[in-house]
Amino acid sequence: MLSYVLRRTLQAAAVLLAITAAAFGLFYAAPSDPALIACGPKCDTAQVEAVRHSMGLDQPLVAQYVDYLGGLVTGRTINDVDGTPIECGAPCLGYSYTLHQPVTEAIADHLPVTLSLAVGALAVIVVLGVGTGLVSALRRGSRTDRMLSAFTLIGASVQIYFLGYALQYLLVYSTDLFPLPGYVPLADDPGGWAAGLLLPWLVLGFVNAAVFARLSRAQLLEVMHEGYVRTARGKGLSARRAHLKYTARGAAPPLAQLLGLEAGALFGGAFITETVFGLGGVGKLAVDAVVGNDLPTVVGTVLLAALCVVVFVAVADLVVAWLDPRVRLA
Amino acid sequence: MAEPDHPALRVRDLSVSFTRARDAHGGADAVPAVREVTFEVAPGEVLGLIGESGSGKSTVGLAALGLHDAARTRVTGSIQVGGTEIVGASEKRLCAVRGSRAAMVFQDALAALSPFHTVGAQLAEAYRLHHPGAGRAAARERASEMLERVAIPAARARDYPHQFSGGMRQRVMLAMALINSPDLLIADEPTTALDARVQRQVLRLLDELRREHGTAVLLVTHDVGVVAEMADRMLVLRGGREVEQGPAEKLLTAASEPYTRALIGAAPTLRTEPGTRLPTVDDPDPSPAPARAPSARRDGAAPARRSGREEPAAPTTVPAAGKPVPPIAEVRDLRVEFPARGPRLPGLRRPPLQAVRGISLAIAPGETLGLVGESGSGKSTTARVLAGLQRPTAGTVRFDGRDISAAARSTALRRELSREVQLVFQDPYASLNPRRTVEQIVTMPLQVHTRQGAAERRERAVWLLERVGLGAEHLGRYPHEFSGGQRQRVGIARALAVEPRLLIADEPVSALDVSVQAQVLNLLMDLREKFGLSLLFVSHDLAVVRHFCDRIAVLRGGEIVETGTRDEVFDQPSHDYTRELLAATL
Amino acid sequence: GAGKSGDDPAPKETAPLTAALGTAKDSTGPAPAIDGARKGGTIHIANPTGYAHLDPQKIYAGETYNTSLLWGRQLTQYQVVDGKPTLVGDLATDTGTSSDGGRTWTYRLKDGIAWEDGKPVTAQQVKYGIQRTFAPGFELGPTYWPEWLTGSPDRTAAVKKYGGPKDGDLDAIETPDDKTIVFHFPKPQADVPYMAAQSSSSPVREDKDTGTGYDIKPLATGPYRIVEHRQNQRLTLERNPHWKPETDSIRHQYADRFEFTFGKKALNTSQEILAGRGDGASSVTTRADLPPELFRETERDPAKRKLVVSGRQGAYVNDLYIKNSRVTDPEVRKAIAYLFPRQQARQVMGGPRAGEFATTLSSPAVVGWKKYDLFPAPPTGDIAKAKEHLAKAEKPVTKLTYAYESDPVQDRLAQVLVDAFGKAGITLVTKPLDPASFTHQVFRGPAPYDLWLSTNSVDWPTPSTLLPDGYHSKLDALSNGIRYNNPAVDKELERIEKIGDAGQKAAALIDLEQVVMKDAPVVPFLYPHVSQVRGENIGGAFIHPIYGSISAAWLYRADS
Amino acid sequence: MAEVMAEVKSSGPAGPLVTAARALRRDRVGMAALGVVLLCAVLAVCAPLIAALYGKNPTEHYGQNDPDLLSPEGLPVRPNGGISADFWFGIEPGLGRDVLTQLLYGMRTSLLIALASVAVIAVIGIVLGVTAGYLSGITDRVFGFICNVLLAFPTLLLLLALSPIIQTRFVSPGENEPAWMQFAVLIAVFSAFGWVPLAMVLRTTVRSLREREFVEAARAVGAGRRHIIFRELLPNVWAPVLVHVTLAVPGIVTAEAALSFLGVGINEPIPDWGRMISRGSEVFYDDPTYMVFPGVTILVFVLAFNLLGDAVRDAIDPRTAR
Ligand SMILES: Nc1ncnc2c1ncn2[C@@H]1O[C@H](COP(=O)(O)OP(=O)(O)OP(=O)(O)O)[C@@H](O)[C@H]1O
Ligand SMILES: Nc1ncnc2c1ncn2[C@@H]1O[C@H](COP(=O)(O)OP(=O)(O)OP(=O)(O)O)[C@@H](O)[C@H]1O
Ligand SMILES: [Mg+2]
Ligand SMILES: [Mg+2]
């Protein structure tokens, strides 16, 4: 276990290094110039060069990258466009010349929204996805099965844009059936927090539940015929409880894996959902930064997303090993 | 307790058929597995249900608990457990019966235990289900107690099924069935994987229960000895139909049906002449196998050497004593340890489990070495080491003079080895891929080791299946569509496909009824004769071992306590344990 | 109330609307009261993006100018009454007096003007603010002060002569006393009153100039002061107790508070406002336009229609730019002017709400604007006429490249052009470019694109920044992106530059415009309009005729 | 027993594929689903033929050239999205193209991209996932590393960053980006990232399958890694594979729609189903009809595709039967 954690930590560090390096490289190769964008459309060449210098973009890519990594650990001082120094404490993710804000601060501003969104959406995904999968598998081939399949598939084939806007239009703006989507900090008003995120949770959950529903149905069908499930029923467990305890357990490992992936993705930010419901989360921050060529923010959000993925994948592997004693941690 | 005016189990006109989805001409047709069977078991009575493999024994047992998949099985007739009708009963009603008033020991112990839960938890659950008042601790207590009763140390309650030996799993199953002292116990081959001593212990346990609680037992078995020991009455099935029913003594000594007589006669006993061909049901007058076999080798079959029918199958290939012939396979000071689960921190770590503690064995070409010993003594582990599947912790393993201890790691080496050495697994179901047809399973070794075309391979597969008492019609079926004994025969057919020089057979006939057992043993003897096949024969059935093996090694607790020729071991056992075993044999 | 609400979704042709210079009397406060305006309450402003800069010398965009009126004051500013702008003195008593043929401009500060901490605003502070525009880091703002005050052709040259407050006092600005400020320009300047209205002309207190910090939270002189500004999150304003209405002829102080929130998409905000959900009824948007998705809905429902505020987007003009150095043949450019399918192009942009069809280089909002149409064609284009001109071309043209900012609407617009050019026998190659670097890719260097759509805007509503800053051949590619080169025009521009009188100068430039247009350097497309939404409870919303968005300084809570 | 066998014999042994096909043929829902999927494929392939018969093409701006069809705002004048005898499915708001031909050609584009990507995803995902699951140790660690990098790397960012690079590096400034390049880039990116979740789920499944005795049995018989991976393990993982593959198709169609929103999908004027859906949600308030056709077709297609996946899963699972 200890060695597992250690190994995973090392691997995570390697992944993060690779990712940040790739993001750095990609943006360097892109035709647009962050110095120009920071300086503004009216800058002449000399001014752009000055800005480039104060942003540190005139240094070799590797030097910039090393600076960046150093800042991550120890913090560093960064120059604003006009050369004024800005203190950036560890973990320093750089300073965004587009947002005019240290990236760490920008992410901290947006993170609570993303966390709240992800937690609720995951709950919906699990309940809806695994729930319908379970019912479908138990009633395989029945009308219920087909209806549930169709229901979750609608989720898979519909666009979040469409569903989000249509539901807001129908349930919020035209009829008042649902509370207005929005973000209120949990600490301020738990009721308002849940109310504001209810619709986004449902939509995000519904759209993503299909994979879980399908996979859990298939997995459950696979495991349902195992001898030990029959044994459980032979003990006197009802079919339902036997499936819940034994079939579900046997079917769980791949689902746990998928859940890990999904969680990693969600905690890294759900751009479209955030946009559709007007929630300022990390996903929106990231895509705005990509579109606006805001390199420090891009790298910062990429780093965060990567961290989430790495952590959740590792946790999922742990859970899988815990679920199936025959599997050894690798 | 069953009410006095009800029998513990009453079965009337029971028919069970399985619908099979895939077949040539649309419309789900049915495989009838049991047809119009009628019988009763009174409280405290033991009914022995015997019959050849695939005759519908397990199907009857499952039906008695209403455990057939309703969507795919048609059950008609009536089954009453202590007066409660099972056929067509609601799930709720069934749940109250299952596990408490009627419990079942399933045939395939590995597949029947959940790999995700510890043995203790599975036992405790069975108890708590029917004792809602009992706390966790009480249930755990009870589970440990039951494990001890089936001779498994209570400390192992924290282990998972895959960490147990085959016989131990079977005992766990038994403990689970008995934990609620049911009125009716359906025991489907409860002792197949147990050595004589433990078997006796288990049977004694059943007997105690019967006396203490008046438990009625439906004992499904193919072991005539067990039936003779335990059963009050017997029911003989064949092809799903009742052949004969009556008091055990009568059927054993003077059965009216020739089938019954043949079935009982097919069992070797400690008194049968060793090495003779055994009579089978279809061929009560044994003769050597048909000659021509499609060869596994491209370069043509070895010329079939017929042995005369009267000629005793003398172990001609067994080297005469004193003349040193290099052994075909050999292990020396073999040790195998399994690391214990649990925290990896030094100090807290449990000591590793020593499954095999320094044994040395040698098998001469053409020789059959019998490996007997109590359950969990390391027989399967030794077999796996020889087959190149398990890496020894220490010691040398040689085949044909080559060191093969690295085979578990090296694909190339194992591949080479498997051309000559094949293994029949103890757990037939688990060792068959559920998604591959019997044809694919049986022809796979041919595919790996020969360049035969599909048609040739198929021909060979049919021939192999016929040798083990199955047929071409089984080629397209999947493992779950077979009875336990049929699966085991598929496993044997697979092992024989490439005509290995050494066959390691881990309880190859444990799940087979005596008739098929005889057929398989005859086949192995033929092969031994014709091709000089060497065998490592793992078994707990001393009668079979005596009949079949040239030399015998007795294993206990991972150590060899005695080894010698058949006659030495059986006639002058030197170790107490061996004597105990022999005495326990039914 | 001032301004017009959106009962006119499809404006026909708006009358020329120009900002006259107001008198000293117009410049005295308080501002003309708005009928029915009430005091009190909180006004919510929900915008999709936050403010990158609030430092007055860094602000350089219409909407930020407009909103910064809430807390910032300049020497002059536009007073808007019933939608008509008049330039009046703001901190200054009037719009300035010039002498020495336009080389010297003098302003006097009003009495009683103060900072949010009660300290008086002085002439030195105005001077300090203007000196900052020379400093490094202030490249973002307009460059006129450095250029004019040093008589340099561009800012780079100007900052060589004076590099900002670190170089000490700038001699070109004199502050004989705390109330008087005198500008000395090496060359005559006619547009100083307009420049004095720009945010760059706001005073800054040296003791409060915290650099980066000042960019987030500047000190207020206007009716409101900044209580909290969390970048890209929220901005909260409350009443500035030291602002006196009688010193201000432009702004009001009706509401108690302004609360800005940033980050929500326009579609969400607009729907909230139209449906009155949440804070919607007391919200407006100033940075977001009504999304096309909601056009029909707001037209269908009269209750919603009255919540839409529309108007011309300042003095902007949307043109099809033609790179003259690549499409050198004027006949080809004329052909493009004829075939340009204004109607279809506007159709994919959402129809008449997008704006009026344009035929002139400058906007009707510019002082002295004259209507003309040198290449008259129906709005759907005149393919026959275009073919005629193409036939006259020296070399036949079969292929042109059109660059655009990649987004779905622009994608469709490109298809409209492909269709129209195709009809005239020209294959249009479409080049979707990354929006963030579009300007850079199209304007800088030898960009290989022939055509693109772009919006030009003047810095203030006189013609003096349009032609001189975009059509002189000596200008760099950034200013003269189309590489327009006509020696005659160059000469005329140089002559006009020397005119000190604002009226004469404007008239000369307006006349020159048609000379330029004869070369068909660009094809005017639209005088764009904006539509924004206001909540049910918001009064005083109109599109500011100069800044082109709802102006917060006139808003009040109609329900308080 | 002989009787039992005699009955079974009548059916005769058949290969697993043949029997699966037979089982599928008897599954009515499965066959209907197959029919729909095939119909979509045929419609996509025959789009030019159908368009020719119907007399419209997908790129002409009918609505813009005829003021009776589109209002100045660009919305269809006639009710229900401008459905008429001439335009059976109505006309597109804005450009006024014919919806029916757009839909047919768009289906072509989207299905090509989705199916091609899914094919690559399935092959890579299966091979890598099953292999990594079976071979633990260093292979598994390298696999884990690559997966994590790919998973953690935002696809969107790559596409956004990549498309200008491709535009400037590989497309001459005077030319349109060739269609094949757009297709290739999208397929490459979807495939490069899409296989990861599939492979990871397979790895988990295989890691527990690996411990089953039948794998050991195969090793005992001398089967090599290839055989074990492809013959023994693979047949046991079809369920998750089918789930992933059938769900990846709508996933890619919608993802591609989202990309066209950001300007990195398939460019105009190549008709594209995904873009129709994005556009449909844009004009949903004003012209709901426009959403209906692509929306319903994609829903029907996805449903059919998944039901087909279910039917195939059931047909190849020897233990289930209806
Ligand atoms: N699920 C199934 N589908 C189809 N046929 C089946 C199924 N289960 C069992 N059978 C068939 O039914 C017959 C009876 O099987 P059953 O398991 O009852 O035999 P058995 O008497 O217990 O044999 P053994 O002693 O070998 O365990 C066999 O021919 C078997 O092939
Ligand atoms: N994978 C494993 N992990 C831990 N312990 C194991 C494992 N496999 C076997 N053992 C233990 O090793 C011992 C020997 O097991 P083995 O399977 O060789 O017994 P056996 O002689 O074949 O018994 P049986 O007759 O019951 O099959 C047992 O105590 C068993 O619990
Ligand atoms: Mg059986
Ligand atoms: Mg064993």
Search chain A and give the residue with CA nearest B71. Answer: A140
C354 CA distance to ligand 2 middle (Å): 81
- Comparing D120 with A40, which gets the higher pLDDT? D120
Ligand nearest to the CA of B352: 2
Chains A, C: CB pairs < 8 Å: 116
Chains C, D: CB pairs < 8 Å: 91
Residue A317: closest CA among A265, A253, A263: A253
Query: Are A237 and B114 within 8 A, CB to CB?
Result: no
Residues of A (212-241) whose Cβ lies below 8 Å from D: 214-215, 217-219, 221-222, 225
Question: If pLDDT is split at 50, 70 and 90, which confidence band does C71 have?
Answer: very high
Domain ranges of chain B: 9-264, 329-339+352-584
Q: From atom 3 of ligand 2, which residue's Cα is the shortest distance away? A: B163
Query: Are C111 and C248 within 8 A, CB to CB?
Result: no
Inspect the interface and report whether the beta carbons of A165 and D205 lie closer than 8 Å: no
Whether residue A316 has pLDDT greater than 90: no
User: What is the distance between the alpha carbons of residues A169 and A150, in angstroms, rounded to a whole number?
Assistant: 24
User: What is the distance between the alpha carbons of residues B502 and B536, in angstroms, rounded to a whole number?
Assistant: 7
Using DSSP, state whether C227 is helix, strand or coil. strand
- A289 in reach of chain C (CB within 8 A): no
Chain B residues inside the 8 Å CB shell of A237: 95, 99, 125, 129
Average pLDDT of chain C is 86
Looking at residue C73, its pLDDT comes to 92
Search chain A and give the residue with CA nearest C216. Answer: A100
Inspect the interface and report whether the beta carbons of A157 and D303 lie closer than 8 Å: yes
Residue A244, exposed/middle/buried by CB under 10 A (0-12, 13-18, 19+)?
A: middle
Query: Are C541 and C555 within 8 A, CB to CB?
Result: yes
User: What is the distance between the alpha carbons of residues B513 and D264, in angstroms, rounded to a whole number?
Assistant: 69
- A272 in reach of chain D (CB within 8 A): yes
Looking at residue B294, its pLDDT comes to 53
- Positions in chain B whose pLDDT score sits under 70: 1-5, 20-29, 193, 280-324, 340-350, 511, 586
Average pLDDT of chain B is 79
- A172 in reach of chain B (CB within 8 A): no
Question: If pLDDT is split at 50, 70 and 90, which confidence band does C19 have?
Answer: low
Query: Are D148 and A10 within 8 A, CB to CB?
Result: no
Answer yes or no: is the C-beta of B516 below 6 A from any ligand 1 atom.
no
Query: Are B65 and B86 within 8 A, CB to CB?
Result: yes
Answer yes or no: is the C-beta of B31 below 6 A from any ligand 1 atom.
yes
Q: Which of the 8 DSSP states describes residue B317?
A: T
Best residue for ligand 2 mutational test, from B353, B357, B560 (most atoms within 8 Å of Cβ): B353
Query: What are the angstrom distances between the C-alpha of C406 and each of A288, C402, C434, C438, D266?
Result: 15, 12, 6, 9, 12
Looking at residue D318, its pLDDT comes to 67
Nearest neighbour of A80 by CB, restricted to C50, C212, C293? C212
User: What is the distance between the alpha carbons of residues B9 and B7, in angstroms, rounded to a whole number?
Assistant: 5
User: What is the distance between the alpha carbons of residues B329 and B551, in angstroms, rounded to a whole number?
Assistant: 14
Domain ranges of chain A: 2-104, 108-292
Atom number in ligand 1 closest to CA B55: 21
Query: What are the angstrom distances between the C-alpha of C351 and each of A46, B382, C356, C358, D152?
Result: 42, 85, 10, 14, 43
Q: Which CATH architecture has domain B329-339+352-584?
A: 3-Layer(aba) Sandwich (3.40)
Question: If pLDDT is split at 50, 70 and 90, which confidence band does C284 have?
Answer: very high
Amino acid identity at D268: E
Tell me which residues of chain D have a C-beta less than 8 Å from any C-beta of chain C. Answer: 61, 64, 70-75, 94-95, 160, 163-164, 167, 173-176, 260-264, 267-269, 275, 278-279, 282-286
| Contact flag for C and B (3+ C-beta pairs < 8 Å) | no
Mutate to test the interface with C, among A32, A175, A273 (most CBs of C within 10 A): A32
Q: Provide the ipTM.
A: 0.74
Q: From atom 1 of ligand 1, which residue's Cα is the shortest distance away? A: B481
Looking at residue C218, its pLDDT comes to 92
pLDDT tens track for B483-502: 777 888 888 888 888 888 88
Mutate to test the interface with A, among D138, D147, D148, D214 (most CBs of A within 10 A): D148
pLDDT tens track for C130-139: 999 998 778 7
Answer yes or no: is the C-beta of B483 below 6 A from any ligand 1 atom.
yes
Query: What are the angstrom distances between the C-alpha of B438 and each of B180, B363, D239?
Result: 39, 31, 21
B239 CA distance to ligand 1 middle (Å): 10
Instruction: Kindly report which listed range (C338-352, C465-479, D7-21) carries the lowest average pLDDT score.
Output: D7-21
B51 CA distance to ligand 3 middle (Å): 10
- H or E, element range at B204: helix B196-213
Domain B9-264 CATH class label: alpha beta
User: What is the distance between the alpha carbons of residues B381 and B426, in angstroms, rounded to a whole number?
Assistant: 11
Looking at residue C183, its pLDDT comes to 93
Answer yes or no: is the C-beta of B30 below 6 A from any ligand 1 atom.
no
Inspect the interface and report whether the beta carbons of A234 and B67 lie closer than 8 Å: yes
Backbone angles phi and psi of C312, in degrees to 5: -70, 145
Residues of D (98-127) whose Cβ lies below 8 Å from B: none
Looking at residue B316, its pLDDT comes to 41
3-state secondary structure chain A: CHHHHHHHHHHHHHHHHHHHHHHHHHHHHCCCCHHHHHHCCCCCHHHHHHHHHHHCCCCCHHHHHHHHHHHHHHCEEEECCCCCEEEECCCCCCEECCCCEEHHHHHHHHHHHHHHHHHHHHHHHHHHHHHHHHHHHHCCCCHHHHHHHHHHHHHHHCCHHHHHHHHHHHHHHCCCCCCCCCCCCCCCCHHHHHHHHHHHHHHHHHHHHHHHHHHHHHHHHHHHCCHHHHHHHHHCCCHHHHHHHHHHHHHHHHHHHHHHHHHHHHHCCCHHHHHHCCCCCHHHHHHHHHHCCCHHHHHHHHHHHHHHHHHHHHHHHHHHHHHCCCCCCC
pLDDT tens track for A230-255: 888 888 888 888 888 888 888 888 88
Search chain A and give the residue with CA nearest D282. Answer: A162
Question: Average pLDDT for residues A246-265, to the nearest whole number?
Answer: 84
Residue A255 Cα to chain centre, angstroms: 17
Answer yes or no: is the C-beta of B317 below 6 A from any ligand 1 atom.
no
Question: Average pLDDT for residues C277-282, to the nearest whole number?
Answer: 86
- Segment of A95-99, A186-190, A220-224, B381-385 carrying the highest mean pLDDT: B381-385
Query: What are the angstrom distances between the C-alpha of B560 and each of B332, B356, B577?
Result: 12, 9, 11
Looking at residue B344, its pLDDT comes to 47
Strand pairing partners for C451? C322, C402
Residue A256: closest CA among B283, C31, B315, B116: B116
pLDDT tens track for B141-192: 888 988 888 888 888 888 888 888 778 888 888 888 888 888 888 988 887 7
Looking at residue B303, its pLDDT comes to 38
Residue A14, both tokens: 């390697």
Say yes or no: do domains B9-264 and B329-339+352-584 share a fold: yes
Ligand 2 pocket at CB < 6 A: B 162-168, 193, 338, 353, 355, 375-381, 426
Inspect the interface and report whether the beta carbons of A326 and B92 lie closer than 8 Å: no
Chain A residues inside the 8 Å CB shell of C216: 100
User: What is the distance between the alpha carbons of residues B449 and B414, in angstroms, rounded to a whole number?
Assistant: 12
Inspect the interface and report whether the beta carbons of D72 and C352 lie closer than 8 Å: yes
Inspect the interface and report whether the beta carbons of D23 and B21 lie closer than 8 Å: yes
Chains A, B: CB pairs < 8 Å: 80
User: What is the distance between the alpha carbons of residues A83 and A80, in angstroms, rounded to a whole number?
Assistant: 5
Chains touching C by CB (3 or more pairs below 8 Å): A, D
B189 CA distance to ligand 3 middle (Å): 7
Nearest neighbour of D152 by CB, restricted to A158, A161, A310? A310
Helices in B240-360 by DSSP H: which ranges?
A: 248-254, 258-265
Inspect the interface and report whether the beta carbons of B106 and A234 lie closer than 8 Å: yes
For chain C, how far is it from start to end, CA to CA, in angstroms? Answer: 16
- A63 in reach of chain D (CB within 8 A): no
User: What is the distance between the alpha carbons of residues C329 and C395, in angstroms, rounded to a whole number?
Assistant: 8
Chain C residues inside the 8 Å CB shell of D95: 348, 412, 415-416
Mutate to test the interface with D, among A7, A157, A168 (most CBs of D within 10 A): A157
pLDDT tens track for C233-271: 889 999 999 999 999 989 999 999 999 998 888 888 888
Looking at residue A83, its pLDDT comes to 67
Along the 322 residues of chain D, how does pLDDT read in single tens digits? Answer: 333 333 333 334 445 566 677 777 777 778 888 898 888 888 888 888 888 888 888 888 887 787 778 888 778 878 777 788 788 888 888 888 888 888 888 888 888 888 899 999 999 988 888 888 888 778 878 888 888 888 877 777 777 777 777 777 777 777 777 888 888 888 888 888 888 888 888 887 888 788 778 888 888 888 878 888 888 888 888 877 887 888 788 788 778 777 766 667 787 888 888 788 778 877 777 788 888 888 888 878 878 887 888 778 777 776 654 3
| Contact flag for C and A (3+ C-beta pairs < 8 Å) | yes
pLDDT tens track for A103-156: 888 888 888 888 898 899 999 998 988 888 888 888 877 788 878 888 887 887
Min CA distance, D215 vs chain B (Å)?
Answer: 7
Nearest neighbour of A290 by CB, restricted to D157, D201, D302? D157
Q: What CATH number is given for A108-292 in this structure?
A: 1.10.3720.10
Chain A residues inside the 8 Å CB shell of C155: 44, 47
| Cα radius of gyration rounded to whole Å, chain C | 24
Inspect the interface and report whether the beta carbons of A80 and C137 lie closer than 8 Å: yes
Backbone angles phi and psi of B77, in degrees to 5: 100, -160
DSSP string, C22-77: P-TTTTSSSPPPPTT-----EEEEEESS--S---TTT--SHHHHHHHTTT---SEE
